Amino acid sequence: MKKYLLTGLLVWLPLAITIWVLLWLVGLLDAIFGGLLTGIGALTPSSTAIFIEPLRHIPGLGVVLVFSALLVTGALVSNVAGRWWLAQWDRLFTHIPIFRSIYNSVKKVSDTLFSSNGNAFRKAMLVQYPRAGVWTIAFQTGTPSGEVAGHLGSDFVSVYVPTTPNPTSGFFLLLPRSEVIELQMSVDEALTYVISMGSVAPVAPVATVPK
């Protein structure tokens, strides 16, 4: 009986957690959309409430609108005119005190992480941490530049060492390239390995025999 219960739990648990995360995300976006409707209702005449109020009760509408807004924004800024407006947008926010420091920091990080030609989080590595002889999984985030590169040299890599089981926190390290081992496993496989605390090991690559 215990064996069957555990087997059934292993079958349904991933599906249940996935559905729970999706429902949480839908609820979050619907809540943001509801707050936006509240703001619009406060700025418009009361006669428009008859059109705004029914929108609150459509489940998933916030997800559809956010997705549509992202898609339209991406399409607009992909041409010359859109890039000009984006430059004006950035110039506006970079002149607002206090706000500009947060905006610039987030923009630089997001541009680095989501750039199609960047190297951030596209390679898993083995590094010795927190001491020599103890190995853990890390992800390459780039290479040192600027003043840091002037002190260390070019033969270094920047890596992020995630914590377990929560990979959103971790440590940033600068290591000599000779002291890291690049892995063939994908980033998804490496993240699964970290989150599962090593219990879900990636499949070892099949060695090819040279002809």
In whole angstroms, give the CA distance from residue 203 to residue 192.
12
Pair of tokens at residue 211: 């002809």
pLDDT of res. 175 = 93
Helix (H, G, I), strand (E, B) or coil at 143: coil
Which residue in this structure is represented by tokens 């690049």? Answer: 182
Q: Tell me if 99 sits within 8 A of 92, measured CB to CB.
A: no
Residue type at position 108: K
Question: Confidence band (pLDDT; 50, 70, 90) for 7?
Answer: confident
21-78 residue pLDDT tens: 778 877 787 777 777 777 777 777 766 667 777 776 777 777 777 778 778 877 877 7
123-169 residue pLDDT tens: 899 999 998 899 999 999 888 888 998 888 888 999 999 988 888 78
Q: What is the pTM of this model?
A: 0.56
Pair of tokens at residue 208: 């090819």
Taken in order 15, 21, 24, 28, the sign of the CA dihedral is negative
Pair of tokens at residue 72: 């339209």
Assess whether the previous peptide bond of 130 is cis (omega < 30° from 0): yes
Q: Tell me if 158 sits within 8 A of 181, measured CB to CB.
A: no
How many CB atoms are closer than 10 A to CB 86? Answer: 13
Question: Confidence band (pLDDT; 50, 70, 90) for 12?
Answer: confident
Radius of gyration of the chain (CA): 24
Do strands 124-128 and 181-182 pair parallel, antiparallel, or not at all (unpaired)?
antiparallel
CA atoms within 13 A on the CB side of 194: 25
Q: Tell me if 106 sits within 8 A of 136, measured CB to CB.
A: no
